């Protein structure tokens, strides 16, 4: 008799896979902003996300506040930080130093980005890394030098993916080639830029899969409840806001109505992405928890049951913080 095949002895993995949940935060710009951010962090921690990402100013100007926020998250919360890092604004030597510092503090996830180019049209300093792909390779080199220290968990490297053409890219096809190149250089997962149309996530994933991209692509969704913010976002990212959303927000006659519209639009985007097989949902929060929690309430994500000890740790930390 032949031994049972792996498939026969393997536990049944059919059924709904858990969906990852994550939030994006940015380092506070003032003591008041820090205070309200920590209220938000407490509220978000109670939802037990898989990680929270912390943005990094492409000018390198908020390096200290970003590292400080990441350290506090590691020391004072149960949250796992995903540190954004950009090529723009730092020399390769400085970047290697920051990566080493992050790893030494216990960070195990880095989102490798090029960063937005200076608005004044200035070119990055000579010798600086040109593309996110170069930063992935640098992270892997720093990691390699610490491989014996990382036996209990290697570094997960994430990258940006674009449901609509990156403003500097010649085509969506080129964006997919870049994503594939980032995967080849060692990216483990991608998080998408914001998008406003329900079919755009599925389109991106199917184009990426056809080209050979196999890494998870996590949709980034942003509850937009203010016209001003929506327009500003369009300017910053080059992503054209959906005209219907602009019209509906403009016609709303109260903040409550705008919040309802913004949350509903985000839930629709997230549900369409989940329907297309998204392995997680990444919520851009603007350091505010109310809309993110509204979205989460309406999504009812299949989430893994957490050990009671972890939930107790969260509750204890919240008690201490209050
Ligand atoms: P890249 O992948 O390097 O692409 C940049 C441009 O170069 C693209 O047009 C691409 O087509 C082209 N390109 C890339 N590689 C090649 C190649 N080998 N040959 C030819 N062309 C190439 N910005 C911040 O400053 N701080 C943040 O914290 C931050 N967080 C973000 C988080 C997410 C999830 C996303 C989606 C974006 C974030 N950004 C952030 C914005 C990001 O930095 C910008 O979108 C930036 O313009 C491009 O970054 P990238 O990592 O996609 O760059």
Tokens of 183: 């995967």
- Strand segments, DSSP code E, in the chain are 20-25, 51-54, 81-86, 109-113, 156-161, 189-192, 217-218, 220-221, 280-284
Q: Is the predicted pLDDT of residue 315 greater than 90, yes or no?
A: no
Q: Which of 236, 306, 72 is nearest to 83 (CA)?
A: 72
pLDDT in tens, 174-223: 999 999 999 999 999 999 999 999 999 999 999 999 999 999 999 999 99
Q: Mean of the per-residue pLDDT values for the chain?
A: 92
Among all chains, which residue has been given the structure tokens 């809309």? 291
8 Å CB contact between 28 and 69 = yes
Residues contacting 178, CB < 8 A, separation 6+: 131, 133, 166, 169
Residues contacting 140, CB < 8 A, separation 6+: 157, 185, 186
Q: Is the predicted pLDDT of residue 276 greater than 80, yes or no?
A: yes
pLDDT (0 to 100) of residue 318: 74
pLDDT in tens, 126-184: 788 999 999 999 999 999 999 999 999 999 999 999 999 999 999 999 999 999 999 99
pLDDT (0 to 100) of residue 2: 61
pLDDT band of 287, cuts 50, 70, 90? very high
Domains defined along the chain, listed by start: 17-312 (3.20.20.220)
Instruction: Measure 112 CA to ligand 1 centroid, in angstroms.
Output: 9
pLDDT (0 to 100) of residue 304: 82
pLDDT in tens, 97-109: 999 999 999 999 9
Instruction: Measure 51 CA to ligand 1 centroid, in angstroms.
Output: 21
pLDDT band of 281, cuts 50, 70, 90? very high
Stronger pLDDT, 62 or 32, i.e. the higher one: 32
To test the ligand 1 pocket, which listed residue (61, 70, 88, 166) has its Cβ within 8 A of the most ligand atoms?
Answer: 166
Q: Which of 104, 75, 101, 80 is nearest to 90 (CA)?
A: 101
Among all chains, which residue has been given the structure tokens 């309200």? 36
Identify the DSSP state of 188: -
Nearest CA residue ID for atom 8, ligand 1: 169
H, E, C per residue of 218-252: ECEECCCCCHHHHHHHHHHHCCCCCHHHHHHHHHC
Ligand 1 site: residues with CB under 6 angstroms? Answer: 55-56, 58, 84, 86, 111, 113-116, 131-133, 160, 166, 168-169, 174-175, 178, 181, 191, 193, 220
Tokens of 181: 């190149």
- The atom of ligand 1 lying closest to the CA of 182 is 2
Identify the DSSP state of 307: P
Quick check: pTM over 0.85? yes
Instruction: Measure 71 CA to ligand 1 centroid, in angstroms.
Output: 25
DSSP β-ladder status, 217-218 and 51-54: unpaired
Among all chains, which residue has been given the structure tokens 């070119």? 123
Query: Distance (Å, rounded) from C-alpha 194 to C-alpha 285?
Result: 12
pLDDT (0 to 100) of residue 283: 98
Catalytic choice (24, 35, 143, 235): 24
Residues contacting 55, CB < 8 A, separation 6+: 24, 25, 26, 27, 66, 84
Query: Distance (Å, rounded) from C-alpha 220 to C-alpha 111?
Result: 13
289, β-bridge pairs: none
Nearest CA residue ID for atom 40, ligand 1: 115
Query: Distance (Å, rounded) from C-alpha 38 to C-alpha 320?
Result: 13
Stronger pLDDT, 5 or 307, i.e. the higher one: 307
Is 24 catalytic? The answer is yes
147, β-bridge pairs: none
> How long a stretch of residues is the chain?
322
Instruction: Measure 138 CA to ligand 1 centroid, in angstroms.
Output: 16
DSSP track, 248-263? HHHH--SHHHHHHHHH
pLDDT (0 to 100) of residue 121: 66
Among all chains, which residue has been given the structure tokens 């002895």? 9
Q: Is the predicted pLDDT of residue 62 greater than 90, yes or no?
A: no
């Amino acid at each position: 008799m032949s031994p049972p095949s792996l498939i026969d002895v393997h536990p049944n993995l059919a059924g709904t896979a858990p969906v990852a949940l994550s939030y994006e935060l940015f380092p506070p710009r003032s003591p008041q902003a820090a205070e309200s951010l920590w209220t938000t962090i407490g509220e978000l921690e109670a939802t037990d996300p898989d990680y929270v990402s912390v943005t990094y100013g492409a000018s390198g100007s908020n390096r200290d506040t970003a590292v400080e926020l990441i350290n506090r998250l590691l020391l004072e919360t149960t949250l796992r930080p995903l540190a954004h890092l950009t090529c723009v604004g730092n020399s390769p030597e400085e970047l290697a130093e920051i990566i080493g510092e992050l790893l030494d503090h216990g960070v195990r996830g880095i989102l490798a980005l090029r960063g937005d180019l200076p608005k004044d049209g200035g070119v990055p300093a000579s010798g600086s890394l040109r593309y996110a792909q170069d930063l992935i390779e640098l992270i892997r080199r720093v990691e390699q030098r610490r491989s014996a220290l990382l036996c209990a968990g290697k570094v997960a490297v994430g990258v940006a993916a674009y449901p609509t053409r990156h403003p500097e890219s010649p085509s969506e096809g080129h964006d997919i080639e870049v994503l594939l190149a980032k995967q080849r250089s060692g990216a483990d997962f991608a998080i998408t830029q914001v998008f406003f149309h329900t079919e755009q996530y599925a389109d991106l994933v199917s184009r990426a899969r056809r080209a050979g991209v196999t890494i998870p692509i996590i949709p980034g969704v942003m509850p937009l409840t203010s016209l001003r913010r929506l327009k500003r976002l369009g300017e910053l990212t080059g992503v054209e806001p959906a005209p219907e959303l602009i019209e509906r927000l403009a016609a709303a006659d109260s903040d409550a109505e705008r919040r309802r519209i913004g949350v509903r639009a985000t839930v629709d985007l997230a549900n369409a992405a989940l329907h297309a097989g998204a392995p997680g949902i990444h919520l851009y929060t603007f350091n505010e928890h109310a809309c993110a929690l509204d979205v989460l309430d309406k999504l009812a994500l299949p989430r893994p049951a957490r050990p009671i000890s972890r939930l107790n740790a969260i509750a204890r930390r919240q008690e201490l913080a209050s």
